[in-house]
Amino acid sequence: MTEIRYDRNDMRMTIRGHAEGGKAGEDVVCAGISALTQTLVRALRDMQTEKDGKLEYKLDKPGEMEIHFIPVPWVRITSGHLFDFVALGLRTIAENYPENARIEEV
């Protein structure tokens, strides 16, 4: 089971565990979660400049990722929309595959 914790106010997302939705390399749940979260990191990294905010993310080991974005006020709305959009996709995955993924929004 992949556990996702999403905190929009803090602009933080934590992903832990394996979806176990199929064989390694064929797990569509894992692939979907991975694609969405990596897209969020890429979008935040691409919009980040020294004056726009600070992106912190780490991949501790396979199946564990933490994303935290500390925006300046003028990019908070845009970065919040990015987090919300990815969270929507992750919620959809969790609704369709409840035995493989769960999202908690705080």
Q: What is the pLDDT of residues 24-47, one digit of tens each?
A: 778 899 999 999 999 999 998 887
Provide the token pair at 67: 């994303």
Give percent above pLDDT 90 in the chain. 53
* Extended strands (E) in the chain: 2-7, 12-16, 53-61, 64-71, 101-105
Could you give the domains of the chain?
Answer: 2-95 (3.30.70)
Burial 76-105 (b: 16+ CB within 10 A, else e): eeebeebbeebbebbeebbeebeebbebee
Q: What pLDDT shows up at residue 49?
A: 67
Q: What pLDDT shows up at residue 68?
A: 92
Q: How many other C-beta atoms lie within 10 A of the C-beta of residue 3?
A: 14
Q: What pLDDT shows up at residue 76?
A: 83
Q: What pLDDT shows up at residue 27?
A: 85
Whether 19 and 1 have beta carbons less than 8 Å apart is answered as yes
pLDDT(60) > 80? no
Taking the chain, what is the end-to-end CA distance rounded to the nearest angstrom? 19
**Residue 67: DSSP 8-state:** E
